[in-house]
Structure 1
Amino acid sequence: MSSTLSSPSRRTLLAAGVAGAATALLGAGPAAAAAPKPTAGVRVLTYNIHHGASGAEVFDLERVATVIEAVRPDIVGLQEVDRHWSARSQWLDLPEWFSERLGMRYVYGANLDLDPLVPGDPRRQYGTAILTPWPVKSSSNILLPKLGTHEQRGLLQAEIVVNGSRVRFANTHLQHNDAFERRLQTARIRELLGDDADRTILVGDLNALPGTPEMLTMTGFLKDAWTEVGSGDGYTHDSEHPHARIDYVMHSSDVRAESAAVITSDPLASDHLPVAADLRVDKGRH
């Protein structure tokens, strides 16, 4: 885990609705009623970055970083993140690159972990990452059920203290071409997070449409922020011609969603559009 340059000040919610530009991503929402407990605002972003390339395989990490930076998130969940993987991402350590570029800490979950092509070089890894400028207390990556020769998937978790509130943040990327396997994976995620999860946020590319059996597993114990406060279809894939909602921000019942938006500021930065949400989390011991 890398270190950040400095701790951020408390962020305020951005006014205005979704208007294509990330600087106008989230509506202010209605005024909140008096809360029985102190709460903290947490802005999260989920983004399948396609190893830093557009759908046409134009590799440009700066474009991805610019999209993230404009949102000013407290926590980011990235999927399809290379680490010394291959020439497609110039053999770079992408989580380290984003950490340095954005001034954030990171944790990484290597779901694929291969020997280097040249002895002595770093291991070739592919998986998910979490970025945050806030303190990370702990993290873990647990591999999810896999069938046959399908790609290994995982659930990356981190305990993060944001604005004085402890948050359990989980990031995942489920199997893209096997609904039965996704059902096994979502069942395992429910087991790992627990039906009584508290102050929990899960994001990711779930590769499943709303209402499918695998998503019913997820909404059986977590709330879908888009369903609660999003406007429109919420389509995120593909980025140039969006026709499917497969990227999600979800949360436990003690977390309140205030706004959610699909970020359309640069559709060519990846083959997915990112989703941002403003959430409110009870403060507690950490």
Structure 2
Amino acid sequence: MRLVTFNLRHGLGRDDRVDRRLLADAVRGLEPDILALQEVDRFQPRSGFADQARICAEAMGAVEYRYVPTVAGWMSVPGLRWRARGEERSPAYGIALASRLPVRAWRRWRLPMASRWVGPVQLGIDEPRAAVAADVETPSGALTVCATHLSSRLGNAWAQLPWLRDALRGAPRPLVLMGDLNLRDEAPITVTGWRSLAVSPTFPVAKPRFQIDHILVDDDGGLRTAGEARAPDTGVSDHRALVIDVALSTG
């Protein structure tokens, strides 16, 4: 079973253009069974009004997927104020999780936001963040997979990750967390106490120097790696995708 996490950067290619066929080919070439996506556009002018979550799900042959908008409205409009919601057919930007395996249940969360004040001056407002989880039926048993994209601002990822770990406490095990966590290298292991399934630098794409895209497992349930982790350059995004094959013990 192949797990993949991929920050799309709204499908931007090397020539600074967005091509939905290139995006589909990139996902198809990764051959994921379960795919976590970040920075996913829906009906945005900058990405040709494409529904990128649907494009990726169809390219991998997913039987189910969920798109979770974190920002509603046109991304290209100067001065756009972040809104943590979006109607079914509205322009949006967010995360997605897709599976080629049947899903018994879906869950989602809005992550805590933060802003920083120095005296009377507000230095920044955090972009809304979310997480989505699927209870997946594999040939060897159940598996919970959660996808997220944590904050890159104000060090807020250090608060969001333990919050999400606690929110997932009641989820069925084994449990995998995938996504762009905006925490470098071993920091997510330190924060959660979980184990990394895939260690490879993922950013920046041309000459990756550090890993901010992660696949973690809560060590309770017999999930093991079945090969070496890879971080291929797909020709899309400023991130490399992170890929790992895993097996679930039946006994």
Query: What's the CA shift for 1:57?
Result: 2.9
Please give the alpha-carbon distance, in whole angstroms, between the structure 1 residues aligned to 2:168 and 2:135: 13
Structure 1 CA distance for aligned equivalents of residues 150 and 158 of structure 2: 10
Encode CA deviations 1:232-264: one digit per residue, 9 max, x unaligned.
xx1111111211211111112122123342332
**Number of the residue aligned with 2:113:** 146
Q: Distance in 1 between matches of 2:231 and 2:28?
A: 12
- Distance in 2 (CA, whole Å) between partners of 1:97 and 1:144 is 26
State the 4+ residue runs in structure 1 displaced beyond 3 angstroms.
113-117
1:258 aligns with 2:226: yes
Q: Identify the match of residue 195 of structure 2 among 197, 212, 223.
A: 223
- The Cα of 1:62 is off from its aligned counterpart by 2.4
Q: Is the 8 A contact 1:160 1:169 kept in 2?
A: yes
- Residue 96 (str. 1) matches residue 62 (str. 2): no
* Map of 1:83 onto structure 2: 42
Equivalenced residue count is 229
Unaligned 5+ segments in structure 2 are 78-86, 116-124
Report how far residue 92 of structure 1 moved. 1.6
> What TM-score, normalized by structure 1, do the two folds share?
0.72
Specify which structure has the bigger relative contact order, considering alpha-carbon pairs within 8 angstroms and separated by 6 or more residues: 1
2:47 matches 1:47: no
| TM-score, reference length from structure 2 | 0.82
Partner of 2:249: 282
Please give the residue correspondences for 1:192-231 in structure 2 after superposition, counting only pairs within 5 Å.
192-194=167-169, 198-212=173-187, 215-218=189-192, 220=193, 222-226=194-198, 230=199
Aligned partners of 1:43 and 1:278 also within 8 Å = yes
Distance (Å, rounded) in 1 between the aligned partners of 2:239 and 2:233: 12
Question: Identity over the aligned pairs, expressed in percent?
Answer: 24
Equivalent residue runs for 1:172-211 within 5 Å:
172-179=148-155, 181-194=156-169, 198-211=173-186
Paired AA for residue 190 in structure 1? R
Closer/same/farther in 2, CA of residues 131 and 158 from structure 1, 3 Å limit? same
Please report how far the alpha carbon of residue 107 of structure 1 lies from its aligned counterpart in structure 2 after TM superposition.
1.1
